Amino acid sequence: MAKPLDRRAFLKITGTALGAGALYQVGAAAGMSSQGLALTDLLGRQNGERVTPFSFVQFSDTHVGFEGPPNPLGTRAFEQAVAEVNALPRQPDLILFTGDLTHDTEKEGETLARMRRFPEIAGRLRVKNVKVVPGEHDAGLDGGQAYRSVFGPSHYAFDHRGVHFIALDNVSQGKPVVGPEQIDWLRKDLARFPRSAPIIVFTHRPLFDLKPEWEWYTGDGDEVMNLLAPYDNVTVLYGHIHRNHEQRTGSARHLAARSLIFGFPDPALDGERKPLPFNPGAPFKNLGIRRLDLSLQGARPVLGVTEVELRSREFAGTVGINQILKGVDFA
Amino acid sequence: MRTGKLAITLAALALAWFPSPAQDARLIPITARRFEYSPREVRLKKGETVTLVLKSEDVTHGFLCRPLKIDSDIPPGRETRVTVTPQQAGEFTAICNHFCGAGHGNMKMKLIVE
């Protein structure tokens, strides 16, 4: 049986393609001692539901409708990512999209057209348990009105196999904030959980000051993290920065995902926040999705992370890329 | 009772006569429009109190410069004043942190403190 992925394994596995049979499998409580099983049951009773292993996938920043030199292929990476997930012999339980589903536009009727185009592509996923949050490109211009008309509430919570998932909206107010109303809702939502409850927050912007001068922060992110601070097992999944990044604040782990449109530079470097240039020789470079595998080490839930490159063999040659680019206007 | 009224009157007179540092501050007008600030750069002096007079010509913009502890919205149709006394020299970037459309990510200016 494979072991749960720790950070070292995650780093080792980062960059591998998501080939058939690669989906990480963990048998429910296999190899666990009777003490471990008893503890898992106890925690399950405390949390409302016993944790059982499962897998899910994070997509981010698909920017449906984007046109421009950083990615002349539009939704091709998004469509390829859907195909990759569909090819898995064992399907993940759910799919999370962490914002910027669409690219903003002020053309009459085009915002809604893009928001309808998104589910056309996402709807090809074999997994139908799909959860989304907005990014500023979806909801920053109209306070989230169009987004909510298509996708429903922009913040909500649900439970899945003993894990509490929280969708937070830190974009709809124009500024990078969650806002007092949503923070009050979060306080009430968390009240029923003991500190041992595994919690996964998914949102668009980082909930900590990653790089405020690039607008990579949430103004009241500290208030959110203070509410989550008493909990032992908190993971925050987010997008917005179009690249992988991992950081801890207290005991919480924050993981940023790559986009499916273009990359951004390393925030540790000085300079401008400009999209990384498109590489016709490697059209999916800097893009990708993330697979997450929740397993149990003893009674402790562990989230294994696999960064997934998109396969681009068919697009790698000159002929291939020229076929894709046929009719694409580089102006 | 009469002494109390006198004290209040004297205090009011003193406030009117000696303006606060913010009233004394040099005014620096900055205009925001999609997707730029004008001017694109202003020079400040370390320790000098200045008031940034922010105006938007179109939609609500933001003005964020964490090192100088500035974080303000700029709604259109009125002035927004921010008084600041920079305590460190350097070149700082102010960005629009209220999403304003396609070029929002590039809307910024420099505050140079000498």
Instruction: List pLDDT tens digits, range A125-175.
Output: 999 999 999 999 999 999 999 999 999 999 999 999 999 999 999 999 999
Residues in chain B, pLDDT under 50: 1, 13-19
- The residue-averaged pLDDT of A68-84 equals 95
Within 8 A of A174 by CB-CB distance, chain B residues are 60, 62, 98-99
**Count of residues making up chain B:** 114
Tell me which residue of A20, A26, A131, A133 sits closest to A86, measured CA to CA: A20
Mean pLDDT value across chain A = 85
Spatial distance between the Cα atoms of A81 and A224, rounded to a whole number of angstroms: 31
- Sign of CA pseudo-dihedral B97, A148, A259, A67: negative
- Residues of chain A in contact with residue B73, where contact means CB-CB under 8 angstroms, are 175
Q: Does position A26 have pLDDT exceeding 70, yes or no?
A: no
Q: What are phi and psi of A45, to 5 degrees?
A: -65, -40
- Most A CBs within 10 A among B99, B104, B111, hence the mutation to make, goes to B99
**Full DSSP string of A243-304:** S-EEEEETTEEEEE---SS-----TTS-S---PPPP-TTSTTTT--EEEEEEEEETTEEEEE
How close, in Å, is residue A76 to chain B by CA atoms? Answer: 21
What is the amino acid identity at position A179? G
In percent, the amount of chain A with pLDDT more than 90 equals 75
Closest CA to B61 of A141, A239, A180: A141
Residues 6+ apart with CB under 8 A from A40: A29, A32, A50, A51, A296, A299
Q: Do B101 and A141 touch (CB under 8 A)?
A: yes
Beta bridge partners of A96: A58, A131
Chain B residues near residue A140 by CB distance under 8 angstroms:
99, 104
Look at A171 and B101 and tell me if their CB atoms are within 8 Å.
no
B91 near A CB under 8 A: no
**Confidence band for A2, pLDDT divided at 50, 70 and 90:** very low
Contacts of B64 in chain A (CB under 8 A): 212, 215
Confidence of residue A114 (pLDDT cuts 50, 70, 90): very high
Which of A104, A212, A273 comes nearest B102 by C-beta?
A104
CB contact under 8 A, A104 and B101: yes
How far CA B111 is from CA of B35, B40, B105, in Å, comes to 17, 9, 18
Degrees, nearest 5: CA angle A273-A277-A280: 165
Whether A265 contacts A233, CB under 8 Å = no
Name the minimum distance, in Å, from the CA of B41 to any CA of chain A.
Answer: 16
Distances in whole angstroms, Cα of residue A250 to Cα of each of A40, A202, A205, A253: 24, 18, 18, 8
Omega before residue A280 within 30° of 0, cis: no
In the predicted model, is pLDDT for residue A112 greater than 60? Answer: yes
Other CB atoms closer than 10 Å to residue A269's CB: what's the count?
Answer: 7
Q: Residue A308 phi/psi, 5° resolution?
A: -110, 120
At a CB cut-off of 8 Å and minimum separation 6, what does A16 contact? A22, A306, A308, A309
Residue showing tokens 């942190």? B97
B99:A171 CB<8 A: yes
- pLDDT of amino acid A44: 67
User: What backbone phi and psi angles, to 5 degrees, belong to A292?
Assistant: -125, 130
- DSSP run (H or E) holding B54: strand B50-56
Nearest chain A alpha carbon to B109 = A213
The candidate with the shortest Cα–Cα distance to A257, out of A215, A277, A283, A286, is: A286
Output the pLDDT for position A319: 41
Chain A residue set in contact with B, beta carbons under 8 Å:
104-106, 136, 140-141, 171, 174-176, 209, 212-215, 219, 273
pLDDT value of position B24: 79
In B, minimum Cα distance to A240 occurs at B105
